[in-house]
Amino acid sequence: MSTSEKPVVLVTGAGQGIGRAIANHFHDQGYHVVATDYNDALFEDLKGKEGYTTAKHNVASIDDAAAVAAKIQSELGRLDVIINNAGINAYLPVVEAPPQRTIDGFMVNTLGPLIVTNACLDLLIASKGTVVNISSESAPLRTPFQFYQSTKKALECLSDVMRRELGVHDVHVVIVRPGTIRTDMTDTSKLVTNPVENSRFAKAFDVFAQQLSAQMPSKKLSVADAAEQTFLAATDPSKPVLYTYSNLLKFKIMARLPAKFLDKQVIKMLKA
C-alpha cells in the first residue's frame, strides 16, 4: 500500500458540471482527486493525469462504493474529504409516475452519500476527515411534480445524524446549500414536459412547467464559483454545520410560510 503525501478528496458525480469544477478546484489547491461518476467515459481527459484517480461509480450501489473505498485504500492509503455531489433530478407527477423513478432519486440523492461514507468509514476516521453533502437552496420548500427537493431535505436530516455520530471520531459533516448554478440541469428547465402519457395531471403540469420557466433566476452562479465555495465549506476551520451561498430571498421567505397557506396558493395556481 502506498500513502499519498497530498491530502486526498473523493468527489462523486465528477464527470461534468459542478462535480468536475469541484474536482479541478481541489486539484489546483494541492489535493489528489479521486473523481467518480456512473459514466466513466467522461474521464477520458483525466485518465493518467497527475493528481487524479478516476473510477466508474454508481453512488446508489453498495458494491461500487466498496470498490472505490478499496481502490483509495490500496492506491493512496488515505482519504481526507468526501464531496457527495452526485445527484439526479426529474420533473414528473410524483404520485402518478412509476414509483421507481422517485425511489431512484432517493437512492442517489439521499442514500448515496450515506453509502459512500459508510464504505470509507475507516479512512475517514484515520484522517479525522470531512464529509460535504451537497444539498439545495430549495430543500426547505417542496413544490409539486419533483422529488428533488424532498430528497435534499431528507439528506439534510440524515446529515445531522451522520455528523452527531461521526463527531465521536472527530469526523465532521457539513451541509452545503448552494443557490442556482449554471449547469445542464438549470439550462434545460425550459424543456420540461410531462413524461406520463394520458396523465391525470396534464393541465396542472403544463401550468407548473410554464411557471418554472418564467421564474428560473436569470442570474446563476458559475460552476467555478460554486466549486470555490464548496472548497471553502470543506476546509473552513470553524467547521460550519450548514454552509449556504447565493441563496434566493424568495425561497427563504416561502419556506417560512404556513404549509396550509402554501397548499392553498399552489393548488389554486395549478387549477387555473
- Catalytic annotation, pick one of 38, 52, 91, 152: 152
- Cβ distance 117 to 129 under 8 Å? no
Beta strands in the chain (DSSP E): 8-12, 32-37, 52-56, 81-84, 130-134, 172-178, 242-245
- Catalytic annotation, pick one of 38, 91, 148, 243: 148
Q: Which residues pair with 53 in a beta bridge?
A: 34
- Cβ distance 120 to 9 under 8 Å? no
d(Cα 243, Cα 77) in Å, to the nearest integer?
29
| Beta carbons within 10 angstroms of residue 66's beta carbon | 14
Lookup result for grid cell 465528477? 14
| Nearest-5° Cα angle at 25, 38 to 246 | 90
The DSSP H or E segment spanning 75 is helix 62-75
Query: Longest Cα pair distance anywhere in the chain, in angstroms?
Result: 64
Residue 126's contacts (CB-CB under 8 Å, 6 or more residues apart) are 78
d(Cα 23, Cα 184) in Å, to the nearest integer?
18
Lookup result for grid cell 428547465? 189
Q: Is 38 assigned a catalytic role?
A: no
Q: Is 148 assigned a catalytic role?
A: yes
DSSP string for 20-42: HHHHHHHHHTT-EEEEEES-GGG
Active-site positions read: 148, 152
